[in-house]
Structure 1
Amino acid sequence: MKTFDDMLNEQLEDINFRKEYEDIQPEMDVIRAIVDARTAQNLTQKELSKITGINQAGISKLENGTRNPTVSLLKRLAKGMGMELRIQFIPKNNISG
């Protein structure tokens, strides 16, 4: 039986799929960071909503990728969870650009 990683690696061999996958990676990283930070604090979306003043539906939309957060909103989330927000630009590994 193939694992998800096996199937993903097969799909990534297709250059069109790879491009689309890489194009959405920053958004997926933001979503994963929000969810991981909230769950590391053992907070529900409702509890985070009360702390930050961001309604629970808004937090849900952030976590399912249907709402793009502003930097200001990310700062509110970080502050509410007692965390610091850091955004980085990372050099690409490939030389061709």
Structure 2
Amino acid sequence: MNSEFDDFLQDQLKDSEFRKEYEAVQPKRAIIQAIIDARHQSGLTQKELSEKTGITQGDISKLEKGNANPSIKTLQRLAAGMGMTLHIEFQPIGIIDKKTANE
């Protein structure tokens, strides 16, 4: 992310209503980013990941654009196709790690 956007986001997060909405969509954004990052780390295109998982390239694209909600089973298939395991965790309310806050 660029500095201008980071500054803009930090300013917007001062508004409690904006912060509430931003935090509400954070889990979905984190999943999307995790899928994209893992695929890139694996060096796979969407098409190659599709071939490894049996999930259509179109569905992978929808997931990465945030236009679909993956099931745990789908996330496990994606992870396996990338030679990875799926890890899900719960965190106390109000904790936003620095990486997520800067996205």
TM-score (norm 2): 0.86
Looking at structure 2, the residues matched to 27 and 93 of structure 1 have their Cα atoms a distance apart, in angstroms, of 16
Letter in 1 for 2:28: E
2:66 alignment partner in structure 1: 65
Alignment deviations for residues 18-48 of structure 1 (CA, whole Å, 9 cap, x no partner): 0000000000000000000000011110110
Looking at structure 1, the residues matched to 12 and 90 of structure 2 have their Cα atoms a distance apart, in angstroms, of 26
Identity of aligned residues (%): 56
Kindly state the Cα deviation for residue 93 of structure 1 after the two structures are TM-superposed: 4.7
Structure number with larger C-alpha Rg: 1
Q: Choose between structure 1 and 2 for higher RCO, CA contacts under 8 A separated by at least 6 residues.
A: 2
Q: Check if 1:12 corresponds to 2:13.
A: yes
Looking at structure 2, the residues matched to 45 and 59 of structure 1 have their Cα atoms a distance apart, in angstroms, of 6
Runs of 4+ that moved beyond 2 A: none
Kindly state the Cα deviation for residue 91 of structure 1 after the two structures are TM-superposed: 1.7
Q: Which runs of 5+ in 2 are unaligned?
A: 96-103
TM-score (norm 1): 0.92
Corresponding residue pairs, total: 93
Kindly state the Cα deviation for residue 90 of structure 1 after the two structures are TM-superposed: 1.1
- CA-atom RMSD in angstroms: 1.2
Kindly state the Cα deviation for residue 92 of structure 1 after the two structures are TM-superposed: 2.8
